[in-house]
Structures are given as C-alpha cells and as structure tokens.
Amino acid sequence: MKKKIFALIDCNAFYVSCERVFNPKLNNKPVVALSNNDGCIIARSKEAKALGIKMGVPLFKVKEIVEKENVIVFSSNYTLYADMSRRVMNIISEFAPSIEVYSIDEAFIELTNMNVDYESYVRQMRKVILQYTGIPVSIGIASTKTLTKVANHIAKDDESLEGVCSLVKHENLDQVLEDTNVADVWGVGRQLSKKLIANGVFNAKLLKNCEDAWVRKMMSVNGLKTVSELREISCLDLEETSATRKSCCTTRSFGKPLVNLDDIEQAVTTFARRATERIRGENLTASTVSVFLRTNPFDRNRYYSNSSTTTLSYPTYDTMQIVKTALQLTKIIFRENYKYKKAGVLLSGFYEKGTETKDLFSEARYRSPKLMSAVDQINERYGSDTIQIATECQIGKWKQKRKNCTQSYTTQLDNVLLI
C-alpha cells in the first residue's frame, strides 16, 4: 500500500498571536491569555513559557511572577480568535485538496497524491499564512497523523528548523521517538502515561515496540491505533466532513457563587437559549435536555453536584420549549443553602430538521420556525444576545469576570482600528 503523507499545521500560542496582530508592542514581551472567567492560563508566548508559567495553571497561582516580570494578561476574546482562525483555515484550504479543521488553532491536511516537494510546499503555505493574517504557525509532516504531532513538536522546539519538520524520509525515526516522552504522544494522557511509565515504557520508541496484546489490554483499541501509527501504519484518516455532532453543551462558571434559585434560573435560561441557537444554526432539533449544577469542587466541605435529564415528547429547536424544560430540570436538582459555582445545559438526541418522526400534532408544534428565524436574523445583524428571554433581562449576577479583553477588531465595524 502506498504510504500516505499528512501535515499538521498548528498556530503558535494562537490566542497570544491574535492579540499581537493588533498590538505589535506585545512582540518580544511575555504575554498570556486566560480561559473564561479569567480563571486559567491557556495560551503563553515564548517569553511567558521561559518564565516557567505552565499551561493551564490558575492565574492566582502565578500572580507573583506575573507582577514581577510584567507579564501582559488578556481575557479571552473568542470573537476575535474564531474569526482569525477562519482566515487561517481558509488559506490552508487553498493549499490542499482536503483539510480537517481539528481545533481552533490546528488543521490536518493530506498531501499524499500531490506532486510537490512537501517541505518547500508547506514552507510556502506558512509564509502566506503569516503574510495574510500575521499568525505564525508550525508544521509537521509525516506518514501518519500521530507522527505529524511528533514532527510538529519538534518544529516548535527547534528554532533552526524555521517552523517546519518532516519525518517522511527521516533517517533515524527511532532516535526521534526515543527522544519523545511517552506522555507527549498524541492519545496518551495523564492516566495512561502514569501506567505506561510504571511499566517501564518511558518514551515513544519503547511504546512502539510493545506487544499488541499488551497494548490492547493497557490502552484499549484506540491505544492500538496510536501504537500502529508510531510504526508508520496509518490508522487515522483525515476527517473532512465534520460528522453531525452528537451533543451541544453551554456551560459557564459564575463570576461569584450563587445561592438563590432565581439567579441560577437566569443563568440556565441563557445557557439553554444559546445552546438552542447553536443547534438551530446547524439545522438540528434536539430530543434530550440535561441540566447540571455544581458547587466549587475545590471546596470539598460542602460539595454538591447533580444533573437531571429528560427526553422531550418530540424533538424541537424552539428556544421557549427548551428553556421551559431546562428550568423544570433545574428545580428538580436545586438544593437550598449551597454556593453554586457552575451550571450547564446539554442538548442531545439530534435529528436533521424535518427528519423527525411526525405525528398527528406535528404541524401545530412547528408554528415557531418563523419566530425563531426572525430572532436569529436580528441577533445575526445586531449581535448575539440582542434578543433574550424575559427572565434573562436583569443584571446577571452570574456574569463572568473579564477584566482585560480586547475589542472585536475584525467583526465589529466600530471596533476596526483607525490608522
């Protein structure tokens, strides 16, 4: 069988890079971007990494370094990041016959049947992405997706490679794998790496040489795929057509703990509305609604967490219907005298709109599409959350912390920079 060729394009410190595009003064300075609610650090510039700031740490734990070293801190601006991502992905699409957008800052492409010199071809792509968007990327090339991940790490770590690393005709792949910690292999997370290391499997080369039966027992079927891919046997194809999703969840931590049912209902209403708007945008109806509530899990003294799920008597994308259901579920699981920190609404059991099983009353139920599409159009034009459900329309006590957020430079006309 002909060897396949994949490339993985990964934006460097993506959120930080987005901020730098619109504020070049940030170049060469330590910069970090935060998760929602200004909780954890989820993107770091090279300079911030060099200060020892780890991925995913809560901001308050590195406060000293941040203050002492003048680290510049941004609240996350997903509107901006999503739009910049779209631009990067569009450029990548022009360079490859097929693309899998794997996350907001990553994409796989397949180069198998392209009659080009892979390395110089992706270098050209890298140059164009930087020129058109200002976003620097790293690219790994290899014969399996798992190996492109390894290649990508090397491209990021070794500056002499100028952003591109190919393992396609690498003389000593085994040496590369030996230098790769087992925990850094794609598909090996915290728990698995602990187990593997306890069994003497420290690096990717040792993992590659494990027996299949042992791997199957240790890491289940997906582990077997990972190991095969380390052996240059491609098991994971490019997933171009994003399969219709199976669930859609909107969840937030609250800016401060909530005690009253009223306040929580307000938040749940917003979550249910947003989730419904999202599935409506994908032309799906949902048949199952779940709500969950929980207190702060870091405070074990008075911890409470619960969820409740119900199946609707018919699938719908009607905001009012889903909000009503979500509020009923909220009342079921709510308990007095707890400080709630987080809640969420999960929709699932999807149907493509129109493929639901019809019954005698279907027509009567579908009286809302016109109203829903009017709402969607208004929100599209004037900004999401322009039209809300009445219970949301007070000052939300649950609103998140977002101390230092930049503007929507690329999606709001009045936020466009003046030069």
Least distance to DNA from the beta carbon of 5, Å? 20
Q: Other CB atoms closer than 10 Å to residue 87's CB: what's the count?
A: 14
For residue 402, state whether it binds DNA (rule: CB under 7 A): no
Q: Other CB atoms closer than 10 Å to residue 377's CB: what's the count?
A: 11
Least distance to DNA from the beta carbon of 221, Å? 5
Q: Which one of the spans 46-54, 185-193, 318-326, 359-367 is the region binding DNA (CB under 7 A)? A: 185-193
For residue 143, state whether it binds DNA (rule: CB under 7 A): no
Least distance to DNA from the beta carbon of 57, Å? 8
Of residues 199-228, which lie at the interface with DNA (CB under 7 A)? Answer: 220-222
Of residues 285-344, which lie at the interface with DNA (CB under 7 A)? Answer: 296, 298, 309, 341-342, 344
Tally DSSP H helices, then E strands, for the chain.
14, 12
Dist CA 224 CA 96 (whole Å):
29
From 384, 386, 401, 411, select the one nearest 275 (Cα to Cα): 384
For residue 100, state whether it binds DNA (rule: CB under 7 A): no
For residue 156, state whether it binds DNA (rule: CB under 7 A): no
Burial class of residue 3 (count of CB atoms within 10 Å of its CB; 0-12, 13-18, 19+): exposed
Q: How many residues bind to DNA according to rule CB under 7 A?
A: 47
From 24, 78, 36, 104, select the one nearest 407 (Cα to Cα): 78
Of positions 19, 47, 106, 318, contacts DNA by CB under 7 A: 106
- The string over 36-49, giving b where at least 16 C-beta atoms fall within 10 Å of a residue's C-beta and e elsewhere, is bbbbbbbbbbebbe
Compute the CA torsion angle 257, 31, 139, 207 (nearest 10 deg): -60
Least distance to DNA from the beta carbon of 61, Å? 7
For residue 56, state whether it binds DNA (rule: CB under 7 A): yes
Of positions 139, 150, 192, 227, contacts DNA by CB under 7 A: 192
Closer to DNA at the Cβ: 37 or 121?
Answer: 37
Of residues 341-370, which lie at the interface with DNA (CB under 7 A)? Answer: 341-342, 344
Q: How many residues does the chain have?
A: 419
Rounded to the nearest 5 degrees, what angle is found at the Cα of 81, between the Cα atoms of 95 and 136?
50
Which residues contact DNA (rule: CB under 7 A)?
35-37, 39-40, 42, 56, 58, 60, 63, 102-103, 105-106, 149, 185-193, 220-222, 243, 245-253, 256-257, 278, 296, 298, 309, 341-342, 344, 400
